[in-house]
Structure 1
């Protein structure tokens, strides 16, 4: 049986956990159609998914995916809830009330928990506001990004995860915009009462996708330092594999008081217009090299994002064990 996440961090300050890989793209590889505004959550809104008396290919694929990531060495697993905000669900399904929405989330987290074990940690995945408007890669939230009510957007999902005993840690993922980052940093324990992290969507050059520099981010983290004791990690996800080491080092420089989390993409490039992935000519480096560099920079959770597979996680686990 796992110990509470906060206790684990306090008692094992030097241990590195291994996160699973790119769930959505891995399900695509296994034949699951996730072409939906809800992305990898889409399978769960079908009533037939929940009927164990009916054979369901998607249910089988999801269970096998979790099992393969577990066999590869992962001990932290994400819920399939990245694009599962109340606004996205209510706009794209027959679920319209908060009660129905919370019931759906509980069913999803319960299913994900049963796919792993009581010894593993389950990460309550919350996608950025960008996920609802397709802006993860540019952070363009429009002219009034500073006036968006981010708490109103996140609150239905956040409230459920705050009270779900299946969830060990909450992750705000792929945050590309400084206004959104500042909003999350400003929330105290009354709003987020579980251990949580913020994973940023970083450009290949210098800072957030919206153009915010590391220096400016550093000022934001300093401004809200200590606001919420439950903030246990900051890091990057859905970031370029080739440039992630430099980005993580720069993050360490601006938040030396926080542990880091890193789960980059496979190294392929995503085209938002064609919605296709393509290989890149960027210099190839091994997971062993990446893990060693991450560890030197203070990274305590390492995994993969889009297009990373159980084989990638196996390589990460091997490299972590060799440290």
Structure 2
């Protein structure tokens, strides 16, 4: 085991700087970094059964054990498509599977001969809801026992779940050239950040934020969080008309304000050393992204206010100050394809209203300009958005 003096944690500012470099690369029409897409989607297209019965609840992570070459190939396809930010097949992984999944991403990057300084590598960690099954990450915890003993008990449960998996990622979040950290291909199996994804509940999101900003063991770990949202309430039951909500309830702008306050202090970005690198919104329909970004104009936190001033793409390209805020990279948006997941049949279906297909450039030509104007700095895809869709996105971003 290495001594403490040999450990060199990645600095979050270094990751922020790399996001800024990715966004401002020469030739980009829009100043955004490209995130990869739906990992499970591509594995299913390759013929893998990802049902709970077939994978033991690990979803795509199970294929890390049964067909690692296919997992590596999916990573390579997203790299070939032009993704700047790659995520490991760890979303629902067990603690035993996480290390192998991280190494497969490193092997894919190494095999393609890509300089690791030109991409970002993230451990994807899903919510407690995803481990419970039945699509609960799209509904929250209202019909579960998570909050049965009160909010504080729920916080403890969220903390235990996320900390256990996070600790499996820690060895890969250290910059080192030690031979002990090399695997068969010779590439260093490092990560750049941890991405907590599809978080449906405000208490869960707050618990993650407090853990990452107040726990000494994690104070140097670059991280980000992405929320699962639903359309605004309508009718008599609506409490905040016209604003999107978290899947488990609560106006998006209020939750984002709370996370920024916990991560950076209420009035200054210097009150903590480890707020989120960015806040994202994922696996909601593409049509919901614009209302989410527009709702962030209601935020009062200074960092949010800096990112919600509409600007033209030309102005954004010419103004370096819009590429990065010193301590916060902004908003990440990576919706699903617009198809609807039916938990009872375990199938996706495209509603008639979803006329645009993300595998076509027209989809991204329609969405990317308005998302960038509204503050998106990272754009990608989630479920049902495969490498061809990311390739189409990359072509639009590069103009």
Does 2:68 match 1:59?
yes
Q: 1:256 aligns with which of 289, 298, 305?
A: 305
C-alpha separation in 2, matches of 1:67 and 1:12: 19
Q: 2:38 aligns with which of 11, 14, 22?
A: 22
C-alpha separation in 2, matches of 1:320 and 1:131: 31
Counterpart in the other structure of 1:44: 64
Indicate the SS of the match to 2:286.
Answer: coil
Counterpart in the other structure of 1:72: 81
Counterpart in the other structure of 1:51: none
Indicate the SS of the match to 1:26.
Answer: helix
Give the deviation of 1:105 after TM superposition: 2.3
Indicate the SS of the match to 1:198.
Answer: strand
Does 2:98 match 1:105?
yes
Give the deviation of 1:181 after TM superposition: 1.1
Given that 1:79 and 1:122 are in contact with CA atoms closer than 8 Å, whether structure 2 keeps it comes out as yes
C-alpha separation in 2, matches of 1:228 and 1:139: 30
Give the deviation of 1:30 after TM superposition: 1.0
Given that 2:121 and 2:192 are in contact with CA atoms closer than 8 Å, whether structure 1 keeps it comes out as yes
Counterpart in the other structure of 2:165: 157
Give the deviation of 1:11 after TM superposition: 5.6
C-alpha separation in 1, matches of 2:198 and 2:396: 25
Counterpart in the other structure of 1:280: 351
Counterpart in the other structure of 1:168: 192
Indicate the SS of the match to 2:164.
Answer: helix
Specify whether residues 176 and 74 from structure 1 end up closer, same or farther in structure 2 by C-alpha distance, changes over 3 A only.
Answer: same
Per-residue CA distance 1:203-247 (angstroms, 9 max, x = gap): 022210112112431452354141453411001011112222221
Unaligned runs of 5+ in 1: 47-57, 87-100
C-alpha separation in 2, matches of 1:281 and 1:228: 46
TM-score by structure 2 length?
A: 0.68
Indicate the SS of the match to 1:33.
Answer: coil
Larger Rg computed on CA atoms:
2
C-alpha separation in 2, matches of 1:240 and 1:266: 7
Specify whether residues 9 and 18 from structure 1 end up closer, same or farther in structure 2 by C-alpha distance, changes over 3 A only.
Answer: closer
Q: CA RMSD in A?
A: 2.3
Unaligned runs of 5+ in 2: 1-12, 25-30, 174-189, 233-243, 265-271, 307-327, 357-362
Given that 1:194 and 1:230 are in contact with CA atoms closer than 8 Å, whether structure 2 keeps it comes out as no
Q: 2:206 aligns with which of 182, 189, 195?
A: 182
Indicate the SS of the match to 1:242.
Answer: helix
Indicate the SS of the match to 1:136.
Answer: helix
Equivalent pairs, count: 293
Q: 2:231 aligns with which of 190, 201, 204?
A: 204
Per-residue CA distance 1:258-302 (angstroms, 9 max, x = gap): 401111001100011111101112253521121111211221211
Give the deviation of 1:28 after TM superposition: 0.3
Give the deviation of 1:202 after TM superposition: 0.5
TM-score by structure 1 length?
A: 0.83
